[in-house]
Amino acid sequence: MEDEIWSKGPKFRLSCWLQSRTISTTGPIAARVINRAERLRKHDEEIARRPEFDHSDTPIEVTKSPNSPWEYGQGVRMKSPGTDQAHKEIDPYAPNRQKTDNYHLLISGIAPRPIGFISTQSGDGKTKNLAPFSYFQVVDHDPPLFIVGIGPKSGQGKDTLCNLKQSGECVINTVSESMIEAVNATSIDAPYGVSEWELSGLHEAPSTTVSPSRVQESVFSIEGKVVDIKEFPEYAKPGMAPTAVVFIEASRFWIREDAANENYSHIYLDKLRPLGQLGGMAYGRITSTFDVPRKMWEDEVTENDILRNFTSRNGAKVGSQV
């Protein structure tokens, strides 16, 4: 019977699903579901036309930087198209501005974002959870500190936030290219208590300073404890848990042995193969990099004529910090 349903195509499957839930096949819920299914079908067709993912493990290319060689005061030498265009001012809180416009704007404009793949469990340890977050960043190394932005959700909020509040512990795992479909599967809005570990097919590995497991497939995992949670109830919609920013301090690092140097102070990019989350549903690979060395004032001001002239014109003493 199941096979028969699948063989008849998505529209037929959808109407069976709606009927099984006694949802009208013509009402507004059905229209929403059908719209979503149609969008997904079109997206599947589009994906089918694309070239295959390049699994060749081609070494990451290293080039010169975009404006190399660059001198002080030069700004952008190699101008890209559009740099002379005007900017449009937008008030994120304007009455006619949709919240979803801000969402799409921010995820496409603040890109690429790293993905923190967060493992948590409930206070009583009975429920495990795994979910990706790209409102995520390391914010310092001493102490090793991280932030995660967790968006609103109806009821008690996202499972990750509930667990972080209850247990105060987590493991932040990195996401490499090869993991992305499994990681994405864990972002499904599964009911509280459904284990995303099983859904994803990813494997648990033991942690030592916190209870939640780390992800075996991740090159780098960070056991961490919650140091603060800041909620924004003033923006919450009725019946929705508010947005929260969680501060996490690392208590242990786990690094895949072949992916780092001898003293575990550097992870190799070609082993990590990190993904950046971009706008829409897109992710970016890193296939090419360049170096831009950081300069020290003390070295530069004695060595570099432009900087020396600039300094004397601005009245600062050569060799002093401005």
Write out the residues near ligand FMN by the rule CB under 6 A.
115, 129, 131-135, 149-151, 158-160, 184, 187, 189, 277
Shortest approach of ligand FMN to residue 158 CB, angstroms? 4
Reduce the DSSP state of residue 24 to 3 states and report it: coil
Phi and psi for 55 in degrees, rounded to 5? -90, 10
Between the alpha carbon of residue 140 and those of residues 110, 215, 255, the distances in Å are 20, 23, 18
Cβ of residue 277: shortest distance to ligand FMN, in angstroms?
5
Distance in Å, CB of 231 to ligand FMN, minimum: 13
**In the complex, what is the shortest distance from the CB of residue 300 to ligand FMN, in angstroms, rounded to a whole number?**
39
Q: Kindly state the smallest distance separating residue 273's Cβ from ligand FMN, in Å.
A: 16
Residue closer to ligand FMN (CB basis): 15 or 184 = 184
CB of 115 to ligand FMN, least distance (A): 5
Taking the least distance from each CB to ligand FMN, the nearer of 166 and 184 is 184
Least separation, in Å, of the C-beta of 302 and ligand FMN?
46
* HEC secondary structure over 237-302: CCCEECCEEEEEEEEEEEECHHHECCCCCCECHHHHCEEEECCCCCEEECCEEECCCCCCHHHHHH
Evaluate whether 116 touches 160 at the Cβ level (below 8 Å).
no
Report the residue number, 149 or 304, with the smaller CB distance to ligand FMN.
Answer: 149
The strand pair at 61-63 and 288-290 is best described as parallel
Q: Can you tell me the distance from the alpha carbon of 272 to that of 218, in angstroms, rounded to the nearest whole number?
A: 8
Q: Which is nearer to ligand FMN, 133 or 220 (CB)?
A: 133
Find where tokens 């950046």 sit: 276
Beta carbon nearer to ligand FMN, 159 or 217: 159
Least spacing, CB of residue 54 vs ligand FMN, in Å: 21
Helix extents (H) in 8-53: 10-20, 28-48
Contact 117, 172 (CB under 8 A): yes
* Residue among 134 and 173 whose Cβ is closer to ligand FMN: 134
Q: CB within 8 A of 85, min separation 6: which ones? A: none
Comparison of 160 and 174: residue with beta carbon closer to ligand FMN: 160
In the complex with ligand FMN, the residue whose CB is nearer, 183 or 301, is: 183
Provide, rounded to whole angstroms, the least separation between the CB of residue 191 and ligand FMN. 9
Q: Which two tokens stand for residue 221?
A: 């995992």
Q: How far apart are CA 146 and CA 222, in angstroms?
A: 10
Contacts of 243 by beta carbon, 8 Å cutoff, 6+ apart: 149, 150, 151, 152, 231, 232, 235, 236
| Distance of alpha carbon 192 from alpha carbon 243, whole angstroms | 18
How many other CB atoms sit within 10 Å of the CB of residue 3? 7
CB-nearer residue toward ligand FMN: 285 or 308: 285
